[in-house]
């Protein structure tokens, strides 16, 4: 089903309900009107944005039928919940989905995990677990539900997905009040698109007949369709709209953790207490480690055992991974230089690396390293292959050998162990020489995995065409240089 057919449902949403219009327009509640007038002197936290509105669709129907890059399934921590959304997705996707869900080994509340879409129109399914709602623990539930939507969207950006079909994450079993949950869903998506809108082309809210009224009622508050609707919605926006990302804010939890507990230095300079994330955990005591300098000296002198060196390496990688998960890497994701596609003929995951999409002189190279670690961490737990398109790369696209050596030294051993092939497509003579030197003198165990492929015809003997997303400029270049693709020849090689 094409989600574009649902666009009119959002465009044709009725104006605010009659009782709300009366509060604002007919003057019967003067106190409320005075509040409205005073508020309209200030800018709306959710101003009219035509560019964002174009990305939003409200669809009444099954999320499983949407033709998006990914759709969302809501489940429990074991990923075996039988609710209308997950049941329909599982039935339509086929038995392969159940096998993939078992491999995920569950999902914690607020997290998002990815599987293939199998028989669905969508290529991927993002699985998430909404919180169980209890009024006593409302703040924790709000934070968890925010994390669900935020992690869904972040995962979509990291995997270069252009469209996402969102179901209502909170199920009846979990007891989350629908209107409260809708506020969190809409404001989280709105804030995400404000900061990362260039990475996502479409977000579809797929709702049932019983959920539709709440979404129609609240959509204009967060996605007003005109300046007039923006002003009319302003007095109806809740007082609590979270921080700049839409995340619920708990003032009593905004504490500042000093690097040296007990030190009074600088503590009187600020009355407000805030979390200093840059300083937390950066010293050996916080990491529960020994003297770092002493360990490095022992490594250099050859006095540290192999097991101790491996443990130190794992700690180092864990710190990089924590940084990668905490930092906003959407600007790197938007380059679409690294993304997950299908599987090769042996069933191994295929990762694509596009050389021309790496503007080395313009990007923060350290953030690029963090992004690589973040995207690849869950991929490398199983066997995988990398397809590198060197097509039409220039001097400004070539990664420095020191950067590559640093990356190779940092990544976990599973990256190297489970990498089964590195397909180097459209190599040049210079790139072959550089790769030979790098794999011979700088790293070990990689040289035998590199395969040079001069055309896509050779690539398709390893990976079926329908299992890999190839950039259009690569297809055009290959057709111009090597002629059009001929399936019969590829199958006969």
Of the candidates 378, 458, 452, 456, which has an alpha carbon nearest to the alpha carbon of residue 418? 378
67 domain-assigned: yes
Return the axis-axis angle of helices 212-222 and 178-196, rounded to nearest 10°.
40
Could you give the 3-state DSSP secondary structure of residue 372?
A: helix
- Residue 224: inside a domain, yes or no? yes
Beta carbons within 8 Å of 380's beta carbon, 6+ residues apart: 412, 414, 415, 418, 419
Q: Is there a single domain that holds both residue 335 and residue 319?
A: no
Phi, psi of 354 (to 5 degrees): -110, 110
From CA 157, how far away is CA 196, in angstroms rounded? 8
349-354 vs 384-389, strand pairing mode: parallel
- The per-residue pLDDT for range 409-458, each reduced to its tens digit, is 788 777 888 999 999 999 998 888 888 876 776 666 678 899 999 999 99
Residue whose tokens read 């240089």? 481
By CB neighbour count within 10 A (0-12 exposed, 13-18 middle, 19+ buried), where does 433 fall?
A: exposed
Position 274 scores a pLDDT of 39
Give me the pLDDT at residue 318, please.
Answer: 84
How far, in Å, are 55, 147, 178, 210, 481 from residue 172 at the CA level? 28, 19, 9, 12, 57
Answer whether residue 287 is part of any domain. Answer: no
Residues 263, 168, single domain; the answer is no
**Tell me, what's the pLDDT at 87?**
94
- The pLDDT value recorded for residue 299 is 54
What is the predicted pLDDT for the residue at 210?
94
Do both 211 and 354 map to the same domain?
Answer: no
Distance (Å, rounded) from C-alpha 45 to C-alpha 93?
Answer: 40
Phi and psi at 396, nearest 5°, equal -75, 0
Position 247 in a domain:
no
- Clarify whether residues 425 and 475 are in a common domain: yes
- Whether residues 297 and 380 share a domain: the answer is no
Q: Which residue has the tokens 């669905």?
A: 120
Cβ atoms of residues 71 and 63 within 8 Å: yes
Which pLDDT score, from 0 to 100, does residue 302 have?
59
Written as six digits, the tokens of 73 are 């399934």
pLDDT for 307 equals 65
Quick one: pLDDT at residue 346? 92
| pLDDT at residue 400, as a whole number | 65
Percent helix, strand, coil in the chain, to 5, is 50, 10, 40
* Other CB atoms within 10 Å distance of the CB of residue 260: 10
Q: Is residue 217 domain-resident?
A: yes
Is residue 247 helix, strand or coil? coil
> Same domain, yes or no, for 264 and 201?
no
218 and 274 in one domain?
Answer: no
Partners of 96 in the β-ladder: none
Q: What is the DSSP string of 52-116?
A: HHTTEEEEES-GGG--SSEEEEEE-TTS----HHHHHHHHHH-HHHHHHHHHHT---TT-EEEEE
- Report how far residue 248's alpha carbon sits from residue 218's, in angstroms, rounded to the nearest whole number: 18
Strands 112-116 and 124-129: antiparallel
CB atoms within 10 A of CB 278: 8
Are 190 and 89 contained in the same domain? yes
Instruction: Flag whether 404 is in a domain.
Output: yes
**364 with 321, same domain?**
no
The residue segments making up the domain with residue 149 are 3-236
Predicted pLDDT of residue 205? 97
The interaxial angle of helices 95-104 and 84-93, nearest 10 deg, is 120
> Strand, helix or coil at 341?
strand
Chain position carrying tokens 């003929």: 345
Residue 393 CB neighbours (<10 A)? 18
* In contact, 196 and 246? CB cutoff 8 Å: no
Asked if residue 59 lies in contact with residue 6, where contact means CB atoms within 8 angstroms, the answer is yes
Q: What pLDDT shows up at residue 414?
A: 77
* C-alpha distances out from residue 97 to 92, 220, 258, Å: 10, 36, 47
Question: Considering its fold, how many domains does the chain have in total?
Answer: 4
Q: What is the DSSP letter of 173?
A: G
160: left (phi over 0), alpha (psi -120 to 50) or beta: left
Same domain (yes/no): 322, 335: no
Alpha helical stretches, state H, 268-358: 292-300, 306-326, 330-333
- Rounded Cα distance between 493 and 269, Å, is 72
pLDDT at position 148, please?
A: 95
Q: Are residues 399 and 320 part of one domain? A: no
Distance CA(438)–CA(435), nearest Å, equals 5
pLDDT of residue 305: 61
pLDDT, position 42: 60
SS3 375: helix
43 occurs within a structural domain: yes
Could you tell me if residue 391 is inside a domain?
Answer: yes
pLDDT of residue 441: 60
Do residues 311 and 402 share a domain? Answer: no
In this structure, what CATH number is given to the domain that contains residue 27?
Answer: 3.40.220.10
For 161, the 3-state DSSP assignment is coil
Per-residue pLDDT of the chain (493 residues; tens, 9 = 90+): 444 334 333 433 344 444 444 444 444 344 344 444 444 446 889 999 999 999 999 999 999 999 999 999 999 999 999 999 999 999 999 999 999 999 998 999 999 999 999 999 999 999 999 999 988 788 889 999 999 999 999 999 989 899 999 999 988 788 999 999 999 999 999 999 998 888 899 999 999 999 999 999 999 999 999 999 999 999 899 888 888 888 887 654 444 444 444 444 343 333 333 334 444 444 444 444 455 555 555 555 555 566 666 777 778 888 888 888 777 787 888 888 998 888 899 989 999 999 998 887 777 878 888 888 888 888 888 899 999 999 998 877 776 666 677 777 788 777 888 999 999 999 998 888 888 876 776 666 678 899 999 999 999 999 999 889 899 999 999 999 998 876 654 444 3
């Amino acid at each position: 089903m094409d989600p574009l057919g649902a666009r009119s449902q959002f465009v044709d949403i009725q104006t605010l309900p009659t009782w709300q219009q009366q509060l604002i327009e007919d003057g019967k509640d003067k106190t409320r009107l005075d509040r409205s007038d005073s508020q309209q002197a200030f800018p709306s936290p959710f101003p009219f944005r035509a560019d964002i509105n174009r990305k939003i669709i409200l669809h009444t129907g099954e999320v499983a039928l949407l033709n998006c890059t990914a759709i969302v399934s809501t489940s429990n921590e074991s990923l075996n919940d039988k609710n209308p959304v997950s049941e329909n997705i599982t039935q339509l996707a086929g038995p392969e989905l159940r096998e993939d869900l078992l491999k995920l080994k569950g999902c914690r509340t607020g997290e998002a995990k990815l599987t293939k879409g199998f028989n669905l129109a969508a290529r991927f399914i993002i699985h998430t677990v909404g919180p169980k709602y209890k009024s006593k623990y409302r703040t924790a539930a709000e934070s968890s539900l925010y994390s669900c939507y935020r992690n869904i969207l972040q995962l979509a950006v990291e995997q270069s997905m252009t469209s996402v079909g969102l179901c209502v994450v909170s199920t009846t079993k979990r007891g989350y009040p629908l209107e409260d949950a809708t506020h969190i869903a809409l404001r989280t998506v709105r804030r995400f698109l404000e900061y990362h809108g260039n990475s996502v082309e479409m977000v579809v809210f797929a709702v049932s007949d019983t959920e539709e009224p709440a979404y129609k009622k609240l959509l204009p508050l967060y996605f007003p369709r005109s300046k007039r609707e923006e002003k009319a919605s302003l007095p109806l926006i809740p007082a609590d709209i979270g921080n700049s990302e839409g995340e619920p804010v708990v003032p009593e939890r905004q504490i500042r953790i000093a690097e040296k507990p007990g030190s009074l230095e600088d503590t009187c300079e600020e009355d407000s207490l805030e979390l200093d994330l840059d300083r937390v955990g950066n010293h050996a005591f916080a990491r529960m480690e020994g003297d770092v300098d002493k360990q490095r000296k022992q490594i250099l002198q050859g006095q540290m055992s192999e097991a101790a060196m491996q443990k130190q390496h794992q700690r180092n990688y864990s710190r990089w991974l924590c940084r990668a998960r905490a930092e906003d890497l959407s600007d790197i994701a938007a380059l679409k230089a690294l993304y997950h596609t299908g599987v090769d003929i042996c069933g191994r995951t295929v990762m694509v690396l596009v050389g021309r999409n790496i503007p080395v002189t313009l990007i923060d190279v350290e953030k690029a390293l963090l992004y690589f670690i973040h995207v690849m961490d869950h991929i490398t737990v199983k066997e995988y292959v990398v397809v590198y398109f060197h097509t039409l790369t220039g001097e400004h696209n070539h990664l420095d050998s020191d950067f590559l050596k640093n990356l190779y030294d940092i990544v976990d051993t599973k990256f190297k162990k489970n990498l089964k092939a590195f397909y180097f497509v459209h190599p040049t003579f210079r790139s072959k020489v550089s790769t030979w030197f790098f794999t011979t003198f700088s790293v070990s165990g990689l040289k035998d995995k590199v395969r040079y492929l001069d055309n896509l015809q050779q690539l398709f003997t390893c990976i079926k065409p329908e299992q890999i997303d190839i950039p259009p400029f690569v297809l055009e270049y290959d057709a111009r240089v090597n002629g059009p693709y001929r399936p019969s020849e590829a199958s006969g090689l």
